[in-house]
Each structure stands twice: as structure tokens, then as C-alpha cells.
Amino acid sequence: MTETSGSSGTIQSEQTIENLLNRARASISKKEIKEAIGDILAAIDFCSCNKGNTKQVRHGKDKSCHLKQFVNGVRSKDLDAIYNVASSPCSCGFAWPSCSSPKHLEAIDLLTESLETEGHYVSAITTGLGIIRLRPISAAGYCRVAKTIRLILKLEKEGKKAKRVNPKVARTLATLEKDAGLTTARLYIFMKKLVQAGLNNTSEKYRNDAHDEYDQILMRMAHSLKLQDSLRDPAAKLPLELLRQIFSHLDTSDVIRSLRVSKKWNRIIKHDTLLWEEVRLAQPRNPGNRVLATWLRGHQGVKSLTIDEVSGFGLSAKRLYMLLFGLPNLQCLIIKTAAPHRCDTIQELDPAPSPSQKLGLAQLSLDGYQAPVSLLVQLLDLSKDTLEVLDLVQTGSKPERAIEAVRMPKLRSLWVDIDMAGTSTEEHVLRMPEIVASTPNLEAFCLNGFQLEWTPGQPTPQGWRQLKHASFGPAMGIEAHTQGTILLPRIFPPITESMEKIEIMTMNPVIAHNYLFTVMDGAEARHPLHSQEMGLEFDEGKLPKLPNLELFRSRCAIDVGLLGRLLAVPAAREGSLRVLELPVEQRWAVRQRHLWCPVVGLESIVVPAEAFVWMESEKIEHLGLYFFNYAGFAFQYGQRFNGQPFLDWLDKFPALNSVSVYPDWPGEGVMPFIGKLILHPRVKKIFQDSLRTGYEWDEACLLAVQRSVDLYHCDFNVPYGPSLFKNW
């Protein structure tokens, strides 16, 4: 009972102190300093260190003895002298209170501020020294006294400059000289040494608690006073290996700035060859050829060079040549720009490389940088024996022609994404046999913005036997010069068992069915549905087997039965499949018998728990659905949305933790659906495009925070390609 009442009494006391201090702050803002001081002293009396619950016993009005003690302590060469002074009684015998309560310290700090505002500078200094007495390991007292002394010296200097005497300042300086022997010059020295003592007393030597804002202020004061302790190297005590590890996490521009910190840092950074193996320049300015040549000579060990925005770099044919051949160990070159119109167009390197010159590039990535076919062919030919990763994103021209022209036997990853602004897929025709022949050992590809072409007599490409990742972007089309009703032969190499991830983000189902299900029986093309309709035999043993498939995403219509044959065994049932995204409304499935043969009605809406029974798996972690609304016919805009069948489906997957939902015209009712997803016990991440702004979005975000669920708004064209592969 006693313990409980004591605890409640402490809480009540702290609340009273807080109320009094708030009232004091309000009085200070109104320039009612006397009222503020009265409230502050009352707050101090309520502190828990005052056991008798009466007025605190205070030092007399004359505090010259108190001030002299600190002045003598500062004059001592002992760094611990001020700590010892603060911890001992006053020379007059008065025992200063010691208290660790933040409120007590805050109250005296506010009292010092009030006295300073009123112009009682001597009292402000002695009260600030009282804060040091109260808690010598806190930086607050040292900061407050130093601030008051700095104000006095500033006002005195301004008065001299204006040839006008400030009475309060003059009286203060006279009192300090009389009571403690502090002339103007000595007062400045006293301030410096007190700050120096503060750095010593607030270090880990005396305290092990967290530092606060006053510690930062004290360090800034020490730095402005040019104290030696403030200029010390914070990493001086770290081993060289750990310091290098810290530098390795910095951006290159930060590393360059670190060269100017000290001679020691400059020496460590310059001689750390590992640190300069990867150079990343954010937005470099034009360095000039002479400066660039000097930099290249001093950084021969660079293996990776990334320029995040090259538009201001002035990349010319000569400068690109300097980068490529001035860094003999360069293995990775990444050039990006969001402003291609500000970059010079380079037709070929200058000077032209000799036949004996070769590059050792393992990765070449151009993002937004406009590179003509002639330059691409030159770069690929110079690196054809070593290149493993090739990314050409919005590079203009016709990058597919450059890839067809150079055989790259070691290429493992190919990402080619065409900028569709002002163009169409017809302008970029991709001939798969030539692409496969140029990249026989490819393991991952991502294609977007192309028209796939097939002509009669074109053979099925052979190769890519180690392919693991296949991604078709949303802007992929197909052009087939067929005769009559002949089934389109397979235009891709056969899918192998090594496949791990498949993304079909195009809405064109011809590409999906040709890639996934069309097989070759000699010179004859076979498709399961086509064979069934035509009364032909189909060997299902020729359908691809995907025991290692981890990710399958498709936005275009795929026959449910065929999908079951492809994914159920062994990917889903035996546990390799982790990510699955499908469309459940098959309205885009228009019959084109000579290309493929899905038999799907315009109003066919798949109920996943019924149609995808074979998909139930203990390992699937992410589910996604496109084009679904179980409220009725999907073309009726503004209808009430119903997503309950999707919610029912989630219960079939015990390992589920994230979902992506892209309904078809969600209409009214989508907010309750998103709310149910947030409340689902397994869902921890939600990707959707139905809620973006407004009241419903705010409500959903609030609920998500309460349930520790990450809610994202992602546009319908969700990310695809290599970045997604890495994320998953």
C-alpha cells in the first residue's frame, strides 16, 4: 500500500512541476520574468530530492565564494578539478544539492535563462554553475554558462564599437572582476576552459548514458572556440581495418570529401585499393580532359564505374574512349541519364580502337543514354569475349540489330527495354533465331517494346539450355506471316527444367501460349488445345516440366487446365513455387486458331478456390490477381466490388505473407475489401492500385499501421524484369 501511494505521489509531483514550468515559460514569453522566477522556484521545491516537501535550502544571495571555487578549479591544470569542485561543498560550507531528475535540471536551466533575459548576468552565471553542481556529468550547465559569458562579451564588444556603454554589462564586468578577478580577457579564458572541462566531464569517463542535444551544443561551442578536443579524429581509436570498412559504405562523392578531413584520412583513402574498386558518381560535372586523365592515372585499380546522371559530365567520343581504355581493370560500366536530350550523341569511339585492343567488361548497362547501333556494335565487339551482363534500357535506335551482329558466348543476362514514346512495336522487330545464336548461354532475359516476328520456313531456335529467368514486358507484340490456318510454330527455344522465374506482363496471349505450351513434333507444331479441337494426338510428355520454378506472373489469359498441367506438378505441390500472380477474368482470350486455340468465353470469370485447387501449396508466400470482380459483368463501370472469393482463397496457403490485387473497375466496395486484407492474420504486405488518395486511403493506412501491415500503392504496370528478380 505504501509503495503504491509513494509511486502515485511521485507522478503527481512530476505533473505539478511540469505545470509550473509551462506556466513559467508562458510568463517569460510575456516578459513577466518575476512571475516566471517564482513559478520556477516553486517547481524546484516539488522535486523528489527535497525529502521534507518544504522549500529547498538555498545558498545565500552572495555567491562570490561559489564563483571563486570554479575560477580556481579552471586555473588548475587538473582536468578533473571542475568535477571535484562540483561534487564538493561550497567554500562557505553550504552543501549543494545533487539530483539526477531531468525536471530539476530543466527548472534551473530555465531559471538561468530567465535571469539572463532580465539582464542579471552575474546571477545567471552563478545559477548556471549551480546546474554543474547539480549534475556535473550533464552538458547543460557548461552550455548555459558559456552562452551567458559569450553574450556578455558580445554586448561589451558592440558597446565599444558604438562608443556607448551598456550599464548592465559594465556592472557585470565590474562585479566579476571584484569578486573573482575575471577581467574581460580572463573571462574569455574562463569560458574556454570551462567548455574544455565540460568535454572531459561529459565523456565516457564519468557517464555511460545516452547523450542529448546539449552534448551536441557543447561540441559545437568547443569547435567554434577551436579547442583541441573538438578537433580530435573520432575514428582515431578504430583499427585500420574497421575504418576501411566504414569508408567502403560511403558514396564516392563522400569518399572524395573525406580526403580533405585530415592527412591521416587522406593517406588511408588514397592507399586503399579496395575502396577505389567501385566508383559511383551521382551527378558529376564536366571535369575537362586534362583533369580526367590525371584522375584515371591515379585510379588504375577501378573495376566498377557508375555514373548515375551523365548529362552534365560531357561524355564525348574521346572521353568515353579515355574511360574505357584508361582503366585497365574496368569490369563494369553503368551509364544512366534522365535527360538524354542534354547528352551528346556518339556515333563511334574516338580514336577508333585498333584490332588488337579489347575490353575486359563483364557488365555493360546503359539506361536512358542514347547509343546508335554503330556505337553499340563497337562496344559489344570489344567486350564480346568477357561480357556477362548487358542492360540496354531506353537507348534509342535499334539495339536488337547490335545484339544480332555480335556473338557473345559468355553473356548470362540480357535486358533490352525500348522507349515506346513516339514509336510502336512494329519499328523494333526481334528475330529470335539471330538473338539466340548471338547469346547461346543466356540464363536470364527481359524483353520489352519489341514485335516478335515469324515467317514460313523459320526454324525453331535452339539454345538457352541454362535459361532460368524469362520476362516479357507489357509492350510486347507478335507478327506472324502464316499461311491458311497453320498453327504458329514455336518461336522460342524449348523451356528447360532449370527455369526458376517466368514473367508474362504483356496482354498478348499469343506470346504466352506459344512460349509455354507450343511444342514441336518434328517439323509440326503442336498445342494441347489445338490438337484437342482438331482431333490430333498430343504427347503431354513434351510439355515443359518446371521442378525449380519459384516465380510465375502472368497478366494475359491462360487456359486454366493448361496452367494446372504446367504448374501443379512439381512446382506447386512439391514446394519450389513461392510467387504466383494470375488474371482470373479471361475476357481478352479471343480465338485466333492459326496462332493458338484457347476455348474461353468472354464472360468467363475464374473462382480461384475452385479452379486452382491444384495450386494449394504450403510454400507459396505471395499471391496476386488481375482483372477480378465477382459482383457481376466486368465491363459495367461503377458497379459494387466483390472480392470475397479471393479472400477465401488465401486460407489455402499457410506460408502466405503478401498479396497484390488489381481489380477490374473496382467501384464501390473496394475499401471494405482492402480492410479485410489488412485484417487477414497472414497478410503483412499489400500491393494495390485501387486506393491512392482521399479519406479511404487515409483510413486504410491508419488501419494498416495499427495491424503492422505494409500497404503500398503500385500502378497497374507493376515492376518487372531483373530488379524484380533480385527483390524476390
Cell of 635: 465491363
Per DSSP, helices labelled H in 644-728 are: 644-650, 670-679, 694-706, 722-727
Yes or no: say if 194 and 82 are a contact pair by the CB < 8 Å rule: yes
Yes or no: say if 582 and 501 are a contact pair by the CB < 8 Å rule: no
Give dist(CA 523, CA 671) in Å, integer: 53
Give dist(CA 373, CA 74) in Å, integer: 76
Yes or no: say if 139 and 212 are a contact pair by the CB < 8 Å rule: yes
696-699 own/partner pairs: CB under 8 Å, 24+ apart: 696/671, 699/671
The predicted-structure confidence for 82-95, as pLDDT tens digits, reads as follows: 989 888 888 888 88
User: What is the structure's pLDDT at 663?
Assistant: 83
Cell of 120: 542579471
Yes or no: say if 642 and 667 are a contact pair by the CB < 8 Å rule: no
Yes or no: say if 493 and 467 are a contact pair by the CB < 8 Å rule: yes
Per DSSP, helices labelled H in 553-693 are: 560-567, 608-611, 644-650, 670-679
Cell of 328: 585497365
For residue 726, count other CB atoms closer than 10 A to its CB: 7
Identify the helix (H) or strand (E) that includes residue 435.
helix 432-438
Yes or no: say if 361 and 387 are a contact pair by the CB < 8 Å rule: yes
What is the distance, to the nearest Å, from the Cα of residue 670 to the centroid of all Cα atoms in its chain?
A: 30
Give buried/exposed letters for 669-701 (b at 16+ CB in 10 A, else e): ebbebbbebbebeebbebbbbbbeeeebbeebe
The predicted-structure confidence for 236-271, as pLDDT tens digits, reads as follows: 777 888 888 888 888 777 888 888 888 888 888 888
Nearby residues of 605 by Cβ (< 8 Å), 6 or more positions away: 584, 585, 586, 628, 630, 634
Which has the closest alpha carbon to 120: 65, 158, 195, 176?
176
Give dist(CA 161, CA 19) in Å, integer: 43
Strands, E, within 628-671: which ranges?
A: 658-662
How would DSSP label each residue in 133-168? HH-TT-HHHHHHHHHHHHHHHHHHHHHHHHT---HH
DSSP letter, residue 331: -
For residue 332, count other CB atoms closer than 10 A to its CB: 18
Give dist(CA 415, CA 389) in Å, integer: 8
Residues of the chain short of pLDDT 50, as ranges, are 1-6, 422, 425, 484-485, 586-603, 633-638, 724-728
Nearby residues of 101 by Cβ (< 8 Å), 6 or more positions away: 47, 48, 49
Q: Which amino acid is at 42?
A: A
Q: Which amino acid is at 547?
A: P
Dihedral (CA of 256, 262, 267, 268) sign:
negative
Yes or no: say if 623 and 654 are a contact pair by the CB < 8 Å rule: no
Which has the closest alpha carbon to 70: 176, 168, 150?
176
Nearby residues of 160 by Cβ (< 8 Å), 6 or more positions away: none
Cell of 714: 503500385
User: What is the structure's pLDDT at 482?
Assistant: 55
User: What is the structure's pLDDT at 358?
Assistant: 92
Collapse the DSSP code of 280 into the 3-class scheme (helix H, G, I; strand E, B; otherwise coil) and give the result. strand
Yes or no: say if 138 and 131 are a contact pair by the CB < 8 Å rule: yes
Q: Which amino acid is at 666?
A: P
Cell of 235: 575514428
At residue 145's C-alpha, the angle toward residues 142 and 148, to 5°, is 145
Give dist(CA 558, CA 514) in Å, integer: 11
Give dist(CA 645, CA 607) in Å, integer: 6
Task: Report the chain's C-alpha Rg in angstroms.
Answer: 38
Give dist(CA 248, CA 235) in Å, integer: 15
For residue 9, count other CB atoms closer than 10 A to its CB: 12
3-state secondary structure 450-511: CEEEECCCCCCCCCCCCCCEEEECCCCEEEECCCCCCCCCCCCCCCCCCCCEEEECCCCHHH
Q: Which amino acid is at 265?
A: W
Task: Report the residue count for the chain.
Answer: 728
Give dist(CA 326, CA 309) in Å, integer: 21
Collapse the DSSP code of 448 into the 3-class scheme (helix H, G, I; strand E, B; otherwise coil) and give the result. strand
* Residue 630 to residues 585, 604, 687, Cα–Cα distance (Å): 10, 11, 20
Half-sphere exposure of 89 (CA within 13 A, CB side): 7
Yes or no: say if 506 and 497 are a contact pair by the CB < 8 Å rule: no
